Chains A and B, each alone.
Chain A
Amino acid sequence: GQNIDQPTEMTATEGAIVQINCTYQTSGFNGLFWYQQHAGEAPTFLSYNVLDGLEEKGRFSSFLSRSKGYSYLLLKELQMKDSASYLCAVREFYNQGGKLIFGQGTELSVKP
């Protein structure tokens, strides 16, 4: 089976740095995604890691360790608009197309 864990909610201050962790247990791992979802809206793609290491994209970075089944999303210079839910999703190699298994999401609140 598969299991993805991430904290339910986090709070941080504008201008600070926050790290959102995600641990997973899955068979046939074939990549990990981070999505951002503002309240009442659709998820939007942030990052994709398939190899170990850090991927940096502007204020957002994502890290993966396949041997530890662990990833984190790092948000720097937090802005109020970063208040959203952050979804960790693992792609399994499964027959055709692959399946995305999502964690429950981490609700991030950015305070002034």
Chain B
Amino acid sequence: NAGVTQTPKFQVLKTGQSMTLQCAQDMNHEYMSWYRQDPGMGLRLIHYSVGAGITDQGEVPNGYNVSRSTTEDFPLRLLSAAPSQTSVYFCASRPGTSFTQYFGPGTRLTVL
């Protein structure tokens, strides 16, 4: 199993550009989440999904959209990038039978 994969690893955007961060898992996990990590702030939940077709907002959802059309994929869309969205983004998944989350390697995003 590849586990949780994220692409790209690094990305630089200009203010106002849009892009999609990709996340995929091959463990058939029901639950998937997106976090951002900023210095001194810890990991903060952006959006999460409890299964295909079901998503909900976390702590900091503004400026981000998600969808979950399949169990495997959970893309995060930045509609109009802002410098405040410069961060490291982690995708995570877990099975319905466990509370332990497995994290992807992260995407380092810089918005100029």
A98 to B101, CA, bound (A): 12
Contact for B99 among A4, A31, A105, CB less than 8 A: A31
User: Which of under 10, 10 to 19, 20 to 34, or 35 or more describes the interface residues of A?
Assistant: 20 to 34
User: Which of under 10, 10 to 19, 20 to 34, or 35 or more describes the interface residues of B?
Assistant: 20 to 34
Decide yes or no whether B45 CB sits under 8 A from chain A.
yes
A42-B104, A48-B99, A48-B100 known; A105+B54 contact, CB < 8 A: no
| A76-112 with Cβ < 8 A to chain B | 87, 89, 91, 95-105
**B99–A102 CB distance below 8 A:** no
| A27-47 with Cβ < 8 A to chain B | 31, 33, 41-45
Decide yes or no whether B61 CB sits under 8 A from chain A.
no
Contact for B90 among A42, A48, A96, CB less than 8 A: A42
Binding site for B on A (CB under 8 A): 4, 8, 31, 33, 41-45, 48, 87, 89, 91, 95-105
